[in-house]
């Protein structure tokens, strides 16, 4: 990728606009039509090979009714010797994909996005991933780094919180922890504008949605009742085997390692439980690298 600050900022800004004005979006939720396909990833974390395979096989140009969901794109394993992390490249690639296929590519707000916005120190192997991300932008953009960082922040903030299908599948980065499900502010999914309070650590609706872990199947039932859906697909919780079933209604996906997966769904199919959804899971390792794609 040729590094040109003006081009990068333009791509990110255009993707931000497309996030905010996409026709299926109502408030903070994207409501998909009852026909076509939906391909859902888990956390990607700058796994370039899996991303390249996903984009190549999705072939959006030749499948205009196919929709894809992308989340947790940033904060991966690509560091230089000075601690500069390079996942801004992945974010720009995804932004360019959104620009080319604005009605088919859907982002979701994720916890690493919010951490990057707030500058919170998520640590991996003793290193702050947010600091590494900023150092990567500083290395590559120099004096233009502040404008790039502002554009990145606006893109991350423009991402919706959830995807809903007409058949009753709800897709979000995560769901509130067990003890927060009943008191969660479900109005956040429908509001046109979110506030600073929604992003506040521990108490905000967005924070509790995207940072929540370890909900029980009973908690999932309560959550789904409140959002008016039958089944739930999330990421966020690491899965060594690529996915996990949490009861009969919740599928957890991971796309950020060599056992990573994604799941393609038919939007006009009424899946009776999450086990039927899981039958469609695809492993990235089983796919050949598309010839038109390049990845490290």
Q: Could you report the per-residue pLDDT of 23-34, keeping only the tens digit for each?
A: 999 999 999 999
Q: Percent helix, strand, coil in the chain (nearest 5)?
A: 40, 20, 40
Give me the pLDDT at residue 119, please. 84
Q: Could you report the per-residue pLDDT of 158-176, keeping only the tens digit for each?
A: 999 999 999 999 999 999 9
Q: Tell which CATH classification among 3.40.50.300, 3.60.21.10, 3.30.460.20, 3.90.1150.10 matches the domain 24-285.
A: 3.60.21.10
Q: Identify whether the C-beta of residue 156 lies closer than 8 Å to the C-beta of residue 15.
A: no
Give me the pLDDT at residue 209, please. 98
The average confidence (pLDDT) of the chain is: 95
| Residue 128 CB coordination number (10 Å) | 19
Instruction: Say yes or no to pLDDT of 222 above 70.
Output: yes
Report how far residue 109's alpha carbon sits from residue 157's, in angstroms, rounded to the nearest whole number.
7
Distance between alpha carbon 51 and the CA centroid of its chain, in Å?
12
The residue ranges of DSSP E strands in 85-240, in sequence order, are: 105-108, 123-124, 127-128, 162-164, 169-172, 231-234
Give me the pLDDT at residue 168, please. 98
Give me the pLDDT at residue 290, please. 86
What mean pLDDT is predicted for residues 43-53?
97
Give me the pLDDT at residue 296, please. 40
pTM: 0.96
Instruction: Say yes or no to pLDDT of 198 above 90.
Output: yes
């Amino acid at each position: 990728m040729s590094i040109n600050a003006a081009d990068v900022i333009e791509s990110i800004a255009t993707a931000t606009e497309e996030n905010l004005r996409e026709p299926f979006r109502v408030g903070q939720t994207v409501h998909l039509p009852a026909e076509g396909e939906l391909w859902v990833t888990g956390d990607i974390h700058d796994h370039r090979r899996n991303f390249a395979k996903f984009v190549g096989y999705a072939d959006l140009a030749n499948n205009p009714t196919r929709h894809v969901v992308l989340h947790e794109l940033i904060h991966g394993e690509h560091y230089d010797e000075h601690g500069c992390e390079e996942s801004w490249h992945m974010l720009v690639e995804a932004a360019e994909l959104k620009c080319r296929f604005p009605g088919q590519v859907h982002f979701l707000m994720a916890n690493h996005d919010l951490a990057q916005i707030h500058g919170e120190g998520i640590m991996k192997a003793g290193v702050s991933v947010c600091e590494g991300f900023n150092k990567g932008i500083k290395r590559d953009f120099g004096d233009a780094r502040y404008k790039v960082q502002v554009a990145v922040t606006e893109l991350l903030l423009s991402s919706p919180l959830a995807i809903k299908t007409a058949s009753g599948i709800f897709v979000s980065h995560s769901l509130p922890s067990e003890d927060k499900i009943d008191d969660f502010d479900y109005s956040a999914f429908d509001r046109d504008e979110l506030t600073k309070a929604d992003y506040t650590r521990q108490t905000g609706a967005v924070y509790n949605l995207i940072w929540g872990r370890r909900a029980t199947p009973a908690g999932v039932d309560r959550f789904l009742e409140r959002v008016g859906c039958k089944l739930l697909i999330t990421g966020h919780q690491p899965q060594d085997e690529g996915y996990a079933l949490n009861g009969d209604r919740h599928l957890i996906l991971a796309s950020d390692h060599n056992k990573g997966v994604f799941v393609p769904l038919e939007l006009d199919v009424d899946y009776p439980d999450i086990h039927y959804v899981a039958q469609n899971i695809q492993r990235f390792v089983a796919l050949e690298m598309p010839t038109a794609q390049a990845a490290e």
